[in-house]
Structure 1
Amino acid sequence: MDADLARFLRDELGHAPTGSVGQWDVRGPVWLWQGSDGAPAKGSWYFLTIDGETAQAIRAAATNAAAWGSVYVEATIGNTTWRTSLFPSKQAGGWLLPLKAAVRKAEKIVEGTEVEARLALAS
């Protein structure tokens, strides 16, 4: 379903129509959060950026934003599936998917690794 149509229907009906919430496949390099000094802090988080049409489709389909405008999702990379939140990113014009240490270890992901993730909205 077109992202603009899904947003219009959600606004008109008060919820996303049945079947409008799908899965999205995203691909990109994993990057490490840098502190204000430009250096990664100990325990810094790793992220995958979600932008473009996929980001718009997620925004249109999301009906229950959580804290700070985040959206609950179920994410899968390789053989690892977990529940997490996407965080809005003004800089990216989309979302950030955090990759916790257990996921990176299981899938052998380091900074710069090109990954493919499947996302689905979760409640």
Structure 2
Amino acid sequence: MPISMRPTQALRLWQQVALSEVQGNMPDLSMRQMAILLTVYLDPPPHTVRGLAGQLGVTKPVITRALDTMGALNLVTRHRDEQDRRNVLVRRTVEGALYVERFGDAIIAGARELPI
């Protein structure tokens, strides 16, 4: 079922979710980091640094820096692809899955609070 929203409602939802993330005790990620994280968790694997760079239209070093931060937070891990050692695989973690699920819950909660 499609959701219908006016632009101001969509922006209010985005604001509410952003505020809850900043005020919460969970790490707040940059837009780029969140785009990478959601790609890893919502799109089917395998995910590689090279593939993510191509998909997001950025360089591999940009992806590597974002993954460094997310790896330190245990939201993703990286491993060398044993079948093609040139590739670095990006894998999901339990902590990352919980983070993404909680973020989705925050969006749902914010949408419920929107005026009609």
Shared fold, TM over 0.5: no
Tell me the TM-score normalised to structure 1 length. 0.26
Q: Which has the larger radius of gyration?
A: 2
Larger RCO, structure (CA 8 Å, separation 6 or more): 1
Q: Greater share of strand residues, 1 or 2?
A: 1
Relative to its length, the structure with more helix (as a share) is 2
